[in-house]
Structure 1
Amino acid sequence: MRAAGTPLITPTIALALLAGVCGCLALPIAPEVPLSCVLAIAGLVLTARFAERRWIGAVLLGAGLAGLHAAYALDIQLPATPAQQEAVLVGRIADLPGTEPRRTAFVFDVDAGELVAGHQVRLAWYSDHGRTAPALHAGERWRLAVRLRAPRGLRNPGGSDGEMHAFADRVAATGYVLGGDRIGAAQGLQGWRDAETARITAAIRAPGERFIRALALGDTRGLSDADWTVLRAGGLTHLIAISGFHVGMVAGAFALLVRLLWWLVPGLGRRVPARIASALVGLVAATGYAAASGFSLPTVRTVLMIAVVAFAQLSRRAIGMAQALAVAAVAMLLVDPLSVLSAGFWLSYAGVAWLLWCMPRSGSSAVRDLLKAQGVATVGLLPLTVVLFGQASAAGPVANLVAVPWWSLVVAPLSVAGVALDAVHPPAARAAWRAAAWCFDIAWPLFERLGSTPLSLWRLPEASPFAVALALIGAGWCLMPRGTPGKALALVLWLPLLWPDLHAPAPGDVEATGIDVGQGLSVLIRTHDHALLYDMGPAVPDGFDAGERSVVPVLHARGIARLDRMVVSHADMDHVGGLPTVRREVPSADLQAPPGSGVPGSRPCVAGQSWRWDGVRFAFLNPPPDLPYVANDSSCVLRIESAHGTVLLTGDISHMVESRLVADDPASVRADIVFVAHHGSRHSSDEAFVRATGAREAVFSTGHANRFHHPNDDVVARWAASGARLWNTADTGAVTLRLEAGGPHAFAWRARHGRLWDATRRPGANAGLSYEGD
C-alpha cells in the first residue's frame, strides 16, 4: 500500500511512465489491444496500491496506454489499397491554412462523408491548369470533393518522417482537393485566430510584421526559408513562436496585476485570498494565451505546470518545481502518450529539468542567472538538438543572450498586449503591434549577421543512440557543482556524438545509396575519401524539392560537407530539379552533364572519360562524343568498378542505347549492382541488356503509386528472372549497397529502422510490387 503522505506522482514515476511509453513505441509492430488493456490495468493497480512497486506499475501503464493510442491511430488511417480513393467530405478547416504560390495546405476536420468521417485529414488545394485555389480561412465549413490516400512519406537518413508525424497527430489520410463549396463562415477559436492575424497584417507596415504574428498568435506562415535559416543558425527557433516561457510570462503578468488590485482594494482579500486569486487568474490567462497559439506542445506543458501550482495553492499544499514538472509530464503522457514523438516534448521537459537541477535557488544576481541559464541550456540540450535536428549552433549562446531578454520581455509582451487590447480599444492595439515590430526590426539585423558567420550552424552526422546517451551523461557531469572531480574528462564522452564514425568504405571498396526522392533519381556514391552525387531528384517550382527534403539531409547525415563531383544524368526535372538546393547547401568541386543539356556551370560527360579515387575506377559509357542532346538517351551512364564488384548507373536510357552498349562492349555493362534505367519503364531494361549485366542487385527508384505505373510489371519480372535481388525505393526508402571484401552488403532504410507506424507494414501496402528486404 502507498504510505500516508507519500506523493503519488514523483520524478521517478514520471520517468518510469515515460520509459513504458517509449518502449512500446519503439516496437516494430503495435501490441494487440487486449494485451495493451491488460498492461494498462495491471499498471494502474500496481501504481495505486503498492508503493514499493509503483515504478513498475508506471512502466506497464505507459506501455499499455501507448499501445492503445497506437492501435487507434493506425486503425483510423485509410487502408493502403487502393492507392487513391475519391470522396466527398463535409467539415471545418481546423488550423491556419498555409498559403504557397501554387497551393494552399490545410488540416480538415471531417464531420460527414465517406471513408474518414469523424477524423482529420491533411489536404492541399492546388492552383494549376487554369484553376486558382480560393482564399481559405481557419474555422470555415466546406463541402469538398477530394482524392485521398493513406499517409505516406519519404524515408531517408537524416530526413523527416512524415508517417510518424501523421501517426502522432492522428491524421487519417492525406490528399488534394478536386473542387468544393464554402457552406459556413469562419467561427470558433481558429476563426478568431485567422481574423486576428489579418488585423495584425493590416496594422503593421514594417518588415517585422510576420514575426509579430508568430509571437502573438503562433502564426509562422509568413516566415520564409531565409528567416528559418537565420533562426536555426542563431539557435532562436524556440523563441519565435509562442513558447512555454511566453506563456509563463503572461501568467505571471496577470498574477501580478491581481496582487496589485488586491493591494489597492484590501476588502477583496476578505472574500478570496490574494494568492488563490492570482493563481487562478494566472492559470486562466495562460490557458487563453495557449489557446491563441493553437495549444502547441510547449504551451500545453507550461499550462499544466501552472495548473499544478494553482491547485496546490487552492489545497494549501506546498509543491516543489521538480514535482510540478513531474505532474505536468505525467498529465501530458496520460492524455497523449504519442506526444513523445515530437521534438518539442523532449526539448520542453529536458530544458526545464536541466534548469531545475543546475540553477541556484537564491542569492544570485539576475545577470548571473541569465548567463548560467543560457550555459545550462546550451550544454544540456546540445545532445538532443543534434539527434533531433542534426545540427548545433555555435552562435546560439551569443544570440540568445540578446534575444531572450529583448524578444521575451519587450517584443512578445507588446505583441500580446496588442491582442488583448484589440477587443476593447483597436487603436491602442495597433500602436502596441507597431511598437513591437519596431523593437523587433532594430535587433533583427544583428541576428542576420550572426547567422551568416562561418560557424553559426554546425551540421553534424547522424549519431547512434549510444553516442547520444554518452553525451547526455557528459552533459550532466559538466553541469555538476564546482569541485566535482574529473569534470574535464566529461568532454571525452561527447566525442562519439560530435565526431562520430562516418563508416567510410575501406580503400578499394565502394558504397552506393539510392536516396528516396519519390518519382525521380538520386544516388550517393562514396569511396574511402571521396563522394559523388549522381542526380538530385525532382523539384516543382514553388513546391516540393527533393534536394531540400531528401538529398541534403542524406549528405548531412553521412557527414559530407563537400562533394568531390556531381553528375546530372540528363536535364529532366525528376533528375536535375534538386540541383539548385544541393549546390547552395553542399558545395561541389565539379559538375558534369551531357553535352547540350543546358545545365548551368557543368562540363560535358562523354563516353571514354575515366578517373580513379581510392582504388576505384569511374568511367562514362554514354553519351558518345558526337551525339546531339536527345534527352533520355543522352543520359550519362556511369560505371564504377571496385576491387570487389561494379556499380552501373544508367539514368533514363532506352532499349536503343542499352542494345548499343551490349553490342559495342558486353563486358562494360557487366555489374553486380544496377540502378535500373528510367525507373523501370517498359521502354528500358532490354532482355539482352538485363542478361548481359548479370546483376545481383537491381534498384528501382520510383514514387509510391506514381502515375506512370513504374516499375513496369514485365520489367520487374525480367530482372527477377535474371536472378537479381530487387529493391524499390518507394517501398524500401533509401537503400544502401556496399561492395566490399565479404561480398555485396545491402540494407533498406525502412527495414533497418522499422517502426510500428511504417506505411509499408499496413496490409496490402506493397500489393503488386516485387520487393525483397534485407
Structure 2
Amino acid sequence: MREAARTPREDRTRTIGITAGAVAFVGGAMAALWLPTMLPMWGCIAIAVVALAIAVISAKAGIHARATQLMAIVAFGFALAALHANHAMSIRLPASLEGQDTRIRGRVVDLPDREARRVQFLIRVDDDASQTDALRGRLLRIAWYDGGQSRSPSVYAGSRWEFDARLRAPRGLRNPGWFDAERHALANRLAATGYVRNAASAREIAHPAGLQAWRADVASRIDAAIDAPVARFIRALALGDTRGLDDDDWATLRATGLTHLIAISGFHVGLVAGFFALLASLPWRLLPSLALRVPRPIAMAVAAVIGALLYTAVAGFALPTVRTTLMIAVVAAVRCARRAQSSFAALSLAVVAMVLVDPLSLLGAGFWLSVCGVAWLLWCLPNADGGVLRAFASAQAVATIGLLPLTVALFGQASLAGPVSNLVAIPWWSLVVVPLALIGTALDALHAGLGVRPWRIAGHAFDATWPAFVVIGDSPFAFAWLPEARWYALPFAAFAALWVLLPRGVPGKPLAMLLWLPLLWPARDLPPHGAFRIDVLDVGQGLSALVRTASHAVLFDMGPASHDGYDAGERAVVPALRALGVRALDVAIVSHADSDHAGGWNAVRNAMTIDDSHAPEGSPSPVASRCIAGRTWQRDGVRFRYLHPTEHFPYLGNDAGCVLRIDGAHGAALLTGDIGEVVERALVRRDPAALRADVVLVPHHGSEGSSDPAFIAATQARVALVATGAGNRFGHPRAEVVARWCRAGARVFDTAGGGALRVDVGLNGVNTAARRETHARLWDAARRSGRMAGLCYRRNDGPGPEE
C-alpha cells in the first residue's frame, strides 16, 4: 500500500537516487580498469571493506549522508573491478612456462574456426592433478596448423583432446585504431594462446558432446538444408555462428550499420523474451480466473526469463546474450517483487547486476552500446505516440544521434547509411528472418530434419534484402572513417547529443552541435613547416613506418602477411593510418619484397589512395616507379633522398632494399629496411656524411648480421628504433647489437615493448613516445616495465642492453 501511495515527486527522487547509485558504481569500476597499473590484492580488499563500512554507517544517518554513500559506492565499484582485474591477470600463463612444450588435456568449449591451413579453438583445461598447476581450469586459445601432414586437424566443438602445445601469455599489437587483443583477453579471462606441437601425439579422448556439439550439428544441418551462400547468415542469426562471414561481409555490415543485427544480439534476446511473455499471457486472457492464483504479469516475467535463457543457450552463452538475459532477469525480479519502479530505475538495477557479476564486461564495446541505447530510448521516447511507424522512425533517429558519439569513439567510423539500412533491416530481419530461423532451430531440436523448410524460407527472406545492402555498402558515401580524437571529445559530443534530443523549444541546439567538432573533426596536430614525424607501427615481426610533414604522407613498408591468413596491412597498418587521419598516401615505399615488409602491400593499396609507389629495381612488388640512390623530392621544407640501391645494383632481397634519408630544418632521420653489414660498410665508404642522422631505424630488426660499428659511428644517432615482434623466434634485437647502439650514445626503443613508436623531429628537438606509455593500461603493465625509457641503462661498467 505504501508503494502505491508514493507521490510523483517521491518516485522521481527514488529513480534519481537509484540511477545516481548505478552511475557511481559503474564510474568507480571504470576508474579501476583504466588505471595504468593494478593495485595489490590486499589494497583492493581493504578499499572494499572500508567502503562497505562507510555505506552501512551513512545509511543509518539518513538523507544527509547521501553524498557519503555515493562516495562509498564509487569506492566499492573501484575495489570490485580491481579485484577481478587482479584475478584475471593472475591466471595468465607465467613467464616460466612460455616457450616450453606442455601437455594439455581439456574440452573444446566453442565452435572451432577453420581456415585454409589451420583450425583455431578455445579449450578449457581439465581441473585435475594431472595438469600443470598454472593451467588447471584455465581457458586457452589454440591454433592447430595443418603443415602438409597426412593427418589434418579434425577438432570439433564439445570434444575432449590431449596434445602438446607451446604457449605464451596473451599478447597484442598496440597501434592507433587497432583492436586491443590484450584487453579482449583480459575481459574474457583468457590465460594463454598457443599452437599444437608434435601433432602425431595428439589424441581425441572423448567424442563431441554437450551444448556446443549440438550447436555444431545444427550448423551443419543448416548448411545442408539451404545449400547456398546465404546459409552463413542463417547460421549467424540462428546460432550466433559467424565463422562463415568473410571480410567483405563484415565490411558491408559495418558500412550499413547492421553489425549489431547479424549475430545473436541483445536485441534478438529481448525479442524472444517478449515473444515468450506474450505466449505466457494467452492462458490468462482465455481464463481470467487464473489471475486469482498467479498474477499474469508475474507469469509473463518468468516466461520472458525462460525464453531469454533458452535463446542464450542456443547462442552458446555468448557475452552479449548473457548480459541481456541478466538485464531481463533483473527487470523480471522487480516485477515479481511487485515494487513499482520506473524504467530508468529498472535499467539502473540491471546495470548494477551486470557489473556485480562481471565488472570486466565494462571493457567491451557491446556493454556500452546496449546500455546506452536502451537509456537513450527510455529517456527520449517514454510515451511514444503517432503510430507504430512514427514511433519506430523516432526510435531510430534517437539511437542514431545518441549512439553516434560512442560509435565513433569505439570504432573510429560513422555509418552514414546506417539509419536508412536499419529502417529496413530491423523490422524485416528481426520480425521475419530471425523468427523463421529460430522456428527451424526449435523444430530441429525436437527432431533432426524438421527445421529444413523454415530455414530455407528464412534464407530466401534474407536474400531478398542483402544484395541491396551490398550495393549501399559499396557506395563511397556509406560511411566515413574518422581520426582518433582527444579524450575530452566523447563527453563533449555526448553532451551535445543530449542537448539536441531535449524537447522542442529548448534554445541553443545549433550552438550545441559545435561540441561535435572535437570528435568528428579532431585536430591532427601535424608537424609545422620544416619538421617531420615518424610513426613506427607495431606490426609484430616486420616493419611499417609512416613519415608525415605538414601536408605530405610517406609509408615505408606495410608489415607482414602469412600463409595462415594474417595480414598486418589489413589488421594493423590500414586501421592505424585511418586513426591517424591519413586519407591518402603521397608515396608508398616497398623497401624490398620479403613478406615481413611487403606482405601488407595489397591491403594498403586496396584501402588507400596512393599517388606514387617505389620499390628497388628488380623487385616483384607491383609499384609505379623505382627507388634509386640520388632520387630526391621535397615537401613542406623537408627533403627526401634515397641513398641505396645504386644504379645497376642487382636485386638481392634484403641488401637491395631502399634506404631513405629525411632532412628537416631541425634534424634528420634514416630509414634502412633490412640492409646488412656489407651494404652498411659500402654506404660508409661512399658518403659517410649522408649517414649522419638524429634518428635511425635500426637495420634488419637488430639482427646479428647488421649494425656494423662503423655504420653506427657514422650515424651519430641520438635515437635508434627497432621494429620487432614480442618473443620472436629470431631473438631480435640481439643483445650485442643493442649494446653497440647504446655505447655509441643512442637511446634504443623497440615496438615489442612499447607498441607503436612516435618520433617528432622539430623545433623542440627530437621527442620520442611509445604507445604503451602515452596510452598506458593495466593489462600491459608487464610489457611496459623497464622498456619505456629505452633498451639502454647505466651500470657501473658502462652502458649496455637491458636483459
Shorter-chain TM-score category?
A: over 0.9
Match of 1:10 in 2: 18
* Partner deviation per Cα, 1:138-161 (whole Å, 9 max, x = no partner): 111111210011111111111111
* Matches of 2:547 and 2:614, distance apart in 1: 15
SS at match of 1:23: helix
C-alpha change, 1:28 and 1:384, in structure 2 (3 Å) is: same
2:177 corresponds to 1:169: no
Are residues 1:75 and 2:53 paired?
A: no
Give the TM-score normalised by structure 1.
0.96
Show the counterpart of 2:798.
none
Deviation at 1:265, TM superposition (A): 4.9
| Gap change, CA 1:768 and 1:665, over 3 Å in 2 | closer
Aligned-residue offset at 1:446:
1.0
Residue 237 of structure 2 is aligned to residue 215 of structure 1: yes
Partner of 1:105: 120
Residues in 1 aligned to 2:228 and 2:284: alpha-carbon distance in whole angstroms: 40
Cα distance 1:458–1:707, how it changes in 2: closer, same or farther (>3 A)? same
Residue correspondence of structure 1 range 194-593 to structure 2 within 5 A: 194-265=216-287, 268-593=290-615
> Which residue in 1 is equivalent to 2:141?
122
C-alpha displacement of 1:299:
2.0
**Which segment drifts farther, 8-17 or 598-607?**
8-17
> Cα distance 1:566–1:17, how it changes in 2: closer, same or farther (>3 A)?
same
Is 1:81–1:764's contact at 8 Å kept on the other side of the alignment? no
Residue 676 of structure 2: aligned partner: 654
Q: Structure 1 residues 446, 394: closer, same or farther in 2, change over 3 A?
A: same
Give the SS at the match of 2:156.
coil
Alignment of 1:702-741 (within 5 A): 702-741=724-763
2:119 match: secondary structure: strand
C-alpha deviation, 1:403, in angstroms: 0.5
1:654-698 deviation per Cα after TM superposition (whole angstroms, max 9, x unaligned): 111111111111101111100011111111111101000000000
615-624 or 750-759, which moves further after superposition?
Answer: 750-759
Separation (CA, whole Å) in 1 of partners of 2:365 and 2:539: 24
Q: Report if aligned partners of 2:747, 2:791 keep a CA contact under 8 Å in 1.
A: no
Is the 8 Å Cα contact of residues 331 and 346 (structure 2) preserved in structure 1?
yes
Residue 137 (1) aligns with residue 156 (2): yes
Cα separation, partners in 2 of 1:536 and 1:633, compared to 1, 3 Å = same
* Counterpart Cα distance in 1 of 2:479 and 2:555: 23
Give how far 1:432 is off. 0.8
Hey, what's the Cα distance between the residues in 1 that align with 2:735 and 2:103?
A: 33
**Counterpart amino acid of residue 68 in structure 1:** L
Q: Is the 8 A contact 1:163 1:759 kept in 2?
A: no
> Is contact 2:384–2:391 with CA below 8 Å preserved after alignment?
no
Contact 2:413/2:479, CA 8 A, preserved across alignment:
yes
Query: Residue 749 of structure 1 aligns with which residue?
Result: 771
User: Residue 33 of structure 1 aligns with which residue?
Assistant: 41
Structure 1 82/680 Cα, relative in aligned 2: closer, same or farther at 3 Å?
A: farther
Separation in 2, partners of 1:160, 1:132: 34
Q: Which amino acid aligns with 2:574?
A: V
Q: 2:28 aligns with which of 20, 36, 45?
A: 20
Partner of 1:64: 79
Distance in 1 between the 2:290 and 2:496 partners?
Answer: 52
Name the CA distance, whole Å, in 2 between partners of 1:617 and 1:764: 35
Sort the Cα spacing of 1:573 and 1:188 in 2 relative to 1 into closer, same or farther, 3 A: same
What's 2:109 paired with? Answer: 94
* TM-score where L is the length of structure 2: 0.93
Q: Distance in 2 between matches of 1:49 and 1:421?
A: 56
Contact 1:93 1:107 in 2 (8 A): yes
Residue aligned with 1:757, SS: helix
Provide structure 1 residue ranges, at least 5 long, that are not aligned to the other structure.
none
Distance 1:70 1:762, change over 3 A: farther
Q: Which moved more, 1:463-472 or 1:315-324?
A: 315-324
Q: Given residue 79 of structure 1, which amino acid in structure 2 is its aligned partner?
A: P
**Local SS of the residue matching 1:356:** helix
Q: Is the 8 A contact 1:20 1:58 kept in 2?
A: yes
Give the distance between the partners of 1:150 and 1:677, measured in 2 at CA: 28
Q: In structure 1, what is the Cα distance between the partners aligned to 2:214 and 2:612? A: 53
Pick the aligned partner of 2:100 from 85, 100, 115. Answer: 85
Comparing 679-688 with 45-54, greater Cα deviation is found at: 45-54
- In structure 1, the residue matched to 2:170 is 151
| Alpha-carbon shift at residue 294 of structure 1 (Å) | 2.4
CA distance in 2, matches of 1:95, 1:221: 11
Deviation at 1:614? 0.6
Question: What amino acid is aligned across from residue 27 of structure 1 in structure 2?
Answer: L
Aligned 8 A contact 2:145 2:153 in 1: no
Letter in 1 for 2:309: T
Structure 1 residues 370 and 423, CA gap change in structure 2 (3 angstroms): same
Deviation at 1:298, TM superposition (A): 3.0
SS of residue in 2 equivalent to 1:507:
coil
Deviation of 1:422 (Å) = 1.3
Q: What is the SS of the residue equivalent to 1:313?
A: helix
**Mapped partners of 1:762, 1:640: distance in 2:** 29
Structure 1 residue identity aligned to 2:487: P
Q: What secondary structure, in the 3-state scheme, does the structure 1 residue paired with 2:326 have? A: helix
Secondary structure (helix, strand or coil) at the match of 2:205 reads: strand
Kindly report the root-mean-square deviation, in angstroms, between the aligned alpha carbons of the 2 structures: 2.1
Give 3-state SS (helix, strand or coil) of 2:779's partner.
coil
Secondary structure of the equivalent of 2:670? Answer: strand
Check the 8 A contact 1:417/1:429 in 2, yes or no.
yes
Match of 1:86, as an amino acid? D
For 2:50 and 2:781, the matched residues in 1 are separated by 31
Residues in 2 aligned to 1:160 and 1:166: alpha-carbon distance in whole angstroms: 11
Q: Secondary structure at the match of 1:222?
A: coil
